[in-house]
Amino acid sequence: MIWGRDHEGKFKDRLATDYRIEVLDSSGKWQTVADASDRAPFESNRAPSSSFNMTGLSDDEAKQAIALVEKKKQLQELISSQSKELLVFAGKFRKPDEIHLLRRGDPEQPLEAVAPAVPGVFGKVSLPLESSENQRRKTLANWIASPDNPMTARVMVNRIWQGHFGIGLVTTSNDFGRNGVKPTHPELLDWLASEFIRCGWSIKHMHRLIVLSSTFRQAAQSNPSGEAVDADVQYLWRFPSRRLEGEAIRDSMLAVSGRLNLKMGGPGYNLFDMRGGLSGFKPIESFKADGLRRLIYAHKVRRERDAVFGAFDCPDGGQSTDRRRESTTPIQALNLFNSRFTLDESEALAARVRREVGDELSSQIRHVWKLALSREPSADEMRDAQPVVREHGLATLCRVIFNTNEFLFLP
């Protein structure tokens, strides 16, 4: 008998790799009753087979074996389903640690104990030293959301305003202190904050208030007198035009091509070939199924940006960013015109158009404009697009439309 080299099971080869079993019969001769000739040869780098080998069984025995294997599978699935437990992230309160003043900030030189409180400049909120953890959290939450604390409301309405106009009334959304920028419209910010508190902290009310305002409903058209006074449109004399975020560009391309997966919740999909490690992430170029969900569901890798849309000022996943800064670089144009993702979605949009309106050229072009730009093409656009489709195909026109300012900018 020849055994595998490992007797402790570290290398998964403890079984006999070759053997012969003999017995001594009544006549004094040795007879071979079993050997390794009918077994698969041992290969250390081959994964074990999970299938049941029915070689040598009769038809009845094979049928019985198949039935047993199927029953075993059903029982294993039942055991697996019954073994699953609902997992949650949970914590429990404990007695809070004593916090002390520190001489010169040295933790080795504690002074008197300090009771829980907010900095005096923000008001008078304090608790006894012996207060519990949940009492401290509740008191802090009530102070943050108190009508007597206007800072929370000011920060929140500034964020809502930033979402609609691309920039807040206070441009430094994360810093309302001395190092931050003063509001461009301080009276408006104060009024919005008081209105937010008055309406019961209703975010929906603030959205409705802003989008129905004459400021939001302005055209984006420029004029020389406005440009001369306020080229950055800080004072909102017109609606500020801005490019869509990288996530919105990708999702819009998927929506127009008809491939956007609207599944919500659940684990995120991968943008790279692996998640662990510190470097060597290879971008995934073509996506299917869950990979066609909105980019908000993509698994973020710290210090690694999406290969195509990361160039559109997507922030590092490892740090907080108060506002997306807009830049214009050659990499953005190259990524959006030559990437595998753009080519795939251009082909998908072309296939959708042919499926929905047929093969008539003018109808195809008009349908591309309706899907991507929500309007009819002009006579000049129609005249320019027709030779492109004839010579290079409908997918090329779709690819061009995905790269137009009208598709990428708001409004």
Q: What is the pLDDT of residues 65-81, one digit of tens each?
A: 899 999 999 999 888 88
Question: Are 11 and 105 in a shared domain?
Answer: no
Give dist(CA 157, CA 201) in Å, integer.
10
Whether residue 182 lies inside any domain: the answer is: yes
Give dist(CA 194, CA 185) in Å, integer.
15
The domain boundary, picked from 177, 200, 229, lies at: 229
- Of residues 53 and 132, which shows the higher confidence score? 132
Question: Are 199 and 247 in a shared domain?
Answer: no
Phi, psi of 37 (to 5 degrees): -65, -25
Give dist(CA 296, CA 308) in Å, integer.
15
Q: Which residues are registered as beta bridge partners of 32?
A: 22
pLDDT in tens, 241-252: 889 999 999 999
Q: Which domain holds residue 110?
A: 100-124+131-144
Q: How many domains does the chain have?
A: 4
Whether residue 179 lies inside any domain: the answer is: yes
Residue 9 has pLDDT above 60, yes or no: no
Question: Are 394 and 263 in a shared domain?
Answer: yes
Question: Are 409 and 266 in a shared domain?
Answer: yes
**% of the chain with per-residue pLDDT over 90:** 54
Local structure of 37: helix, strand or coil? helix
Give dist(CA 57, CA 36) in Å, integer.
18
Question: Are 163 and 254 in a shared domain?
Answer: no
Question: Are 165 and 139 in a shared domain?
Answer: no
The domain boundary, picked from 144, 179, 202, lies at: 144
Local structure of 35: helix, strand or coil? strand
Place of tokens 């975010």: 203
Which pair of structure tokens corresponds to residue 20?
């012969």
Whether residue 70 lies inside any domain: the answer is: no
Whether residue 221 lies inside any domain: the answer is: yes
Question: Are 198 and 138 in a shared domain?
Answer: no
Segment 173-198 shows an average pLDDT of 93
Closest CA to 407 of 244, 234, 166: 244
Whether residue 87 lies inside any domain: the answer is: no
Question: Are 278 and 353 in a shared domain?
Answer: yes
Residue 225 CB neighbour total at 10 angstroms:
9
Question: Are 157 and 117 in a shared domain?
Answer: no
Question: Are 341 and 214 in a shared domain?
Answer: no
Question: Are 328 and 405 in a shared domain?
Answer: yes
Whether residue 393 lies inside any domain: the answer is: yes
Segment 287-296 shows an average pLDDT of 92
Whether residue 91 lies inside any domain: the answer is: no
Question: Are 266 and 295 in a shared domain?
Answer: yes
- pLDDT tier for residue 36 given thresholds of 50, 70 and 90: confident
* Dihedral angle, C-alpha 240, 245, 248, 250, nearest 10 °: 130
Whether residue 93 lies inside any domain: the answer is: no
